[in-house]
Amino acid sequence: MKITRLTTWRLPPRWMFLKIETDEGIVGWGEPVIEGRARSVEAAVDELSEYLIGKDPARINDLWQLMYRGGFYRGGPILMSAIAGIDQALWDIKGKALGVPVYQLLGGLVRDRIKAYSWVGGDRPAEVIAGINKLRAIGFDTFKLNGCEEMGIIDNARKVDAAVNTVAEIREAFGKDIEFGLDFHGRVSAPMAKVLIKELEPYRPLFIEEPVLAEQAEYYPRLAAQTHLPIAAGERMYSRFDFKRVLDAGGLAILQPDLSHAGGISECFKIAGMAEAYDVALAPHCPLGPIALAACLHLDFVSRNAVFQEQSMGIHYNQGAELLDYVINKDDFSMNDGYFNPPNKPGLGVEINEELVIERSKNAPDWRNPVWRFPDGSVAEW
């Protein structure tokens, strides 16, 4: 079999789908994208296609190494997201050619279902509580919300109290009937993370995500030493070589590689094994679309240390399209009691409505995240 063509479509809400065609008619789908830099990743996929056209798609390991090492420069969000989407599509082709779901090619099921969690948008306590109630009604009992709004490098007690108050009101409203992670979203400096985490301890959130930015990873062990709360990070790390440093340094209880940013299934499968060796849990990051989610699920179903799976149904970013809008076999992604079942169809198990993809790509938004500024005019982390 030979790869004949790679085609990308940027799509609402902020996704990009890749189709890889072969001379035997088998097609693979992937989701290479960096939210807000879709056109850069699209250009990277086009450049990498020079290594792929005419090659055997079954040789995923060799093609991965060629894309990663062949261009001298490597790593980072753009190149690793392009490689990630291509890798997903190659695994899709391999599974379809052999007539088995990708998880079978990675050793088979390690569990029968995987718990899902859902984002709850909004920053006012009342909005968050209303959002949780809506999602509980469809079976979720585990959530993630922003831990705070923008936070100055050294900020005041009122800002800290506002963040803590939202959490206090959630616990007040739901007690321990629900669990929630708090995503600091990299908005918080190391000094303020110490203060915020201390004040949040009594409310026992399930985890604190990106308490500081990945480029401040040396603070993860220091923050972990001061708190009992599990610390999670990984969406802005892009390869085994990024993750090996944080695993060696310690401090992270949960790794959150994104299968559309960290080199795809091949790379994240290795990262999952590295994490298990350090007794670190795996919770793949996935605020994106259905192909990215399917790739995560295949990894969840072969990784004993996978604990819960992010998915974007109802996420505040999905303006203009919802998680399963482009999927024909929607039922395969329905949840029971807040759990996903294994994707059992050959390949990734996602049947894409290509006609709709082509149609909706005609007016794809060029999504950008908001740029926040402090009252003094300086740029704040979003």
Ligand X SMILES: O=C(O)[C@H](O)[C@@H](O)[C@@H](O)[C@H](O)CO
Nearby residues of 25 by Cβ (< 8 Å), 6 or more positions away: none
Q: How far apart are CA 382 and CA 363, in angstroms?
A: 26
* 92 touches ligand X by CB under 6 A: no
Smallest separation (angstroms) from Mg ion to the CB of 255: 13
* 261 touches ligand X by CB under 6 A: no
- Of 51 and 317, nearer to ligand X (C-beta) is 317
Member of 31, 87, 92, 183 binding ligand X (CB under 6 A): 183
Here's the x/- map for ligand X, 305-324, by CB under 6 A: it reads as -----x------x-------
* 183 touches Mg ion by CB under 5 A: yes
- Of 209 and 267, nearer to Mg ion (C-beta) is 209
Q: 349: closest CA among 295, 302, 312, 308?
A: 295
CA 211 to chain centre: 17
285 is catalytic: yes
* 235 touches ligand X by CB under 6 A: yes
HSE-CB for 63 with a 13 A CA cutoff: 28
Q: How many CB atoms lie within 10 A of CB 165?
A: 13
Whether residue 183 is annotated as binding a ligand: the answer is: yes
- Of 59 and 316, nearer to ligand X (C-beta) is 316
Binders in 207-226 for Mg ion, by CB under 5 A: 209
- Of 63 and 192, nearer to ligand X (C-beta) is 192
What are the DSSP calls for 313-378, one per residue?
Answer: TT-TT--S--TTTTBS-GGGG-EETTEEPP--SSBT---B-HHHHHHHHTT--------EE-TTS-
Whether residue 235 is annotated as binding a ligand: the answer is: yes
Contact partner at residue 369 from ligand X, Mg ion, none, CB < 5 to 8 Å by partner kind: ligand X
User: Contact region for Mg ion (CB under 5 A) — 14-22, 110-118, 161-169, 206-214?
Assistant: 206-214
228 is catalytic: no
Q: How many CB atoms lie within 10 A of CB 365?
A: 14
Residue 93, CA distances (Å) to 38, 265, 346 in order: 23, 13, 9
Q: 91: closest CA among 81, 104, 79?
A: 104
Q: How many CB atoms lie within 10 A of CB 231?
A: 23
- Of 278 and 317, nearer to Mg ion (C-beta) is 317
Q: How far apart are CA 212 and CA 255, in angstroms?
A: 14
The single residue of 228, 285, 298, 316 carrying the catalytic annotation is 285
Q: 91: closest CA among 115, 57, 67?
A: 57
Here's the x/- map for ligand X, 32-71, by CB under 6 A: it reads as ---x------------------------------------
Contact partner at residue 267 from Mg ion, ligand X, none, CB < 5 to 8 Å by partner kind: none
Size of the site for ligand X (CB under 6 A): 9
Q: How far apart are CA 359 and CA 320, in angstroms?
A: 13
Q: How far apart are CA 153 and CA 194, in angstroms?
A: 12
Contact partner at residue 10 from Mg ion, ligand X, none, CB < 5 to 8 Å by partner kind: none
Smallest separation (angstroms) from Mg ion to the CB of 183: 4
* 185 touches ligand X by CB under 6 A: yes
- Of 64 and 308, nearer to ligand X (C-beta) is 308
Q: 95: closest CA among 328, 240, 295?
A: 295
Active site positions, annotated:
185, 285
Residues annotated in the binding site for Mg(2+), as ranges? 183, 209, 235
Chain positions contacting Mg ion, by CB under 5 A = 183, 209
Site of interaction with ligand X (CB under 6 A) = 35, 183, 185, 235, 285, 287, 310, 317, 369
